[in-house]
Amino acid sequence: MTDSSWESELATFLNDLLTVQDELLALLGRKRELLMEADTAGLAELAPQEERLIARLQESLRCREELLARAHGEGLPSASLQALARALPGQSRQDVGQRIDLARSRARLLSHQSLTNWVLVQRSLIHLSQLIEIIATGGRMQPTYGDKSGTHSSGALVDRAA
């Protein structure tokens, strides 16, 4: 395979990956808005789009593995796309390298956005758990240790003898 065909294949792969990453960033932003609004119907509507993007990311991973396997078969660097891009001639190396850097940057951003959404969901779950506990106990605190007689409103730690 020639350098130009490798450049073309890498560019096509990276363009597809960057497109999926952009769509996923938009979806995660929308998902965060829906989470903040507690819009469960809107979240349910995002599920099919999320599944399609997951499938496209899995396809990108499969294509990446195929590219690296072919590069290995041709005796080219195959440890990573970055290593393969370094084997391209001058300007091609630079152009593909920039796209790889952009894809890495977006992957980090996607990771941060996913973590942000995860934290938002966890905080919501903790809040709901606390509400359920308040409802279940009638708002009365239950002792964590000791007898089940409940807590006292006086200074039990200082004033009461054991």
In the DSSP assignment, the letter for residue 144 is S
Query: Does a structural domain hold residue 149?
Result: no
Query: Does a structural domain hold residue 157?
Result: no
Query: Does a structural domain hold residue 158?
Result: no
Mean pLDDT in the chain? Answer: 86
- Beta carbons within 10 angstroms of residue 25's beta carbon: 14
What's the total number of domains in the chain? Answer: 1
CA 76 to centroid of chain Cα atoms: 32
Query: Does a structural domain hold residue 155?
Result: no
Query: Does a structural domain hold residue 34?
Result: yes
157 pLDDT more than 60: no
Question: 35 vs 23, 119, 125, CA distance in Å?
Answer: 18, 11, 12
Dihedral sign, Cα of residue 70, residue 68, residue 100, residue 28: positive
Q: pLDDT band at residue 52, thresholds of 50, 70 and 90?
A: very high
Distance CA 33, CA 43 (A): 10
Q: What is the pLDDT of residues 80-137, one digit of tens each?
A: 999 999 888 888 888 899 999 999 999 999 999 999 999 999 998 998 898 888 888 8
Which domain range does residue 76 map to? 3-142
> Average of pLDDT values for 47-53?
96
Query: Does a structural domain hold residue 153?
Result: no
The tokens describing 55, both together, are 């499938």
* Local structure of 112: helix, strand or coil: helix
- The label of the residue with tokens 């000791």 reads 146
Q: What is the pTM of this model?
A: 0.75
Distance CA 158, CA 161 (A): 8
pLDDT of residue 68: 94
Query: Does a structural domain hold residue 147?
Result: no
Distance CA 35, CA 40 (A): 8
Query: Does a structural domain hold residue 122?
Result: yes
